[in-house]
Amino acid sequence: MKAKAAEIQRILDDLYPETPIPLQHKDAYTLLVAVVLSAQCTDERVNQVTPALFTLADNAEKMMHVPVEDIKEIIRPCGLSPAKSKAISELSRLIMERHNGEVPDSFSALEALPGVGHKTASVVMSQAFGVPAFPVDTHIHRLATRWGLTSGKNVEETERDLKRIFPEENWNKLHLQIIYFGRQFCPARSHQPEKCPICSWASTLGS
C-alpha cells in the first residue's frame, strides 16, 4: 500500500506542483464562509456568489448584523440557502461572542459553530492556518476507493486510512491535488479507467 501511495503522490506532484485554493477568499473568515457555502455546490458557483456577499459583509462583526433574508437571497444559487444563511449569520455572531471576532484555530472550536462539520473545519485548519489535516469529501472518498486506498464505508473511515498511508507533511497539498485530479481525469460519470493516469493501474493493483 505504501508503494502504491508513493506512486500516486509522484503522479500528483508531477501534474499539480502548485495547488491554489479553489475557493476565492482573503482571510480565514471569508474562507470559512465560502466552505460552508460549498456544501453540495461547486466551487465555481460559490465563487460567483461570494463577491456580492463579501461586498455586503466580509467579517463576522458586519455579517452578524445583516438580515438572514438578505444573506439567503444572495446565496440562493448555491442551494440550501435557508440553512446556509442561518448558519452564516449564527456562526458570525458566535465568532464575535466567543472568539473576539477571529476565526478560531482549533478543530473543536470550529466544529462547535453552526454549519461547520469536520470536513469544513479541516479545510479551514489546513488552508487558513497550515495545520496538517486531510479534508475528505465525497469526491476524495470516491477516488480513494477507486484506487484501492481504502475500504472505508464513509468519509471518516477514508480519512483515517489516507492519513495512515500518506506522510503528514503532504496532507494539506494532497487534498487539493486529488480534487484537481478528479476534475480533470477521474469524474464520477463517463469515466474511462483505462485512460486515467492512476485508475489505469491502481484499481487493479493489490494493496
State pLDDT tens for residues 106-116.
Answer: 999 999 999 99
Of the candidates 140, 141, 114, 136, which has an alpha carbon nearest to the alpha carbon of residue 32?
114
pLDDT higher at 88 or 192? 88
Q: What CA–CA distance (Å, rounded) separates 146 from 204?
A: 9
**Residue from 4, 84, 137, 161 carrying the catalytic annotation:** 137
Tell me the one-letter amino acid at 106: S
With a CB cutoff of 8 Å and minimum separation 6, the contacts of 129 are 28, 105
Q: How far apart are CA 188 and CA 182, in angstroms?
A: 8
Rounded to whole angstroms, the Cα distance separating 94 from 60 reads 9
- Domains of the chain plus CATH, in order, are 2-19+134-202 (1.10.1670.10), 28-127 (1.10.340.30)
Local confidence band at 98 (pLDDT 50, 70, 90 cut-offs): very high
d(CA 193, CA 23): 28
Question: Is 26 part of the annotated catalytic residue set?
Answer: no
Identify the pLDDT of residue 111.
Answer: 98
Per-residue cell: 96: 464575535
Active site (annotated) includes residue 137: yes
DSSP codes joined into one string, 67-136: -HHHHHHHHGGGS-HHHHHHHHHHHHHHHHHHHTTS---SHHHHHTSTT--HHHHHHHHHHTT-------
Confidence band for 205, pLDDT divided at 50, 70 and 90: low
Which residue carries 480565514 as its cell? Answer: 28
* Cell numbers placing 10: 509522484
pLDDT digits (tens, 9 = 90+) for 62-85: 999 999 999 999 999 999 999 999
The Cα–Cα gap between 39 and 203 comes to: 28
How much is the average pLDDT of 113-141? 96
Q: Which one is catalytic: 4, 84, 119, 161? A: 119
* Geometric angle at alpha carbon 168, from 120 and 187, rounded to 5°: 55
pLDDT band of residue 1 (cuts 50, 70, 90) is: confident
Q: What is the mean pLDDT of residues 44-51?
A: 98
CA 59 to mean position of chain CA atoms: 20
Has residue 51 got a pLDDT over 80?
yes
pLDDT of 47 reads 98
Alpha-carbon gap, residue 156 to 203, rounded angstroms = 21
pLDDT reported for residue 204: 63
**In this prediction, what percent of the chain has a pLDDT beyond 90?**
92
- Across the chain, mean pLDDT equals 95
Q: Is the pLDDT of residue 207 over 50?
A: no
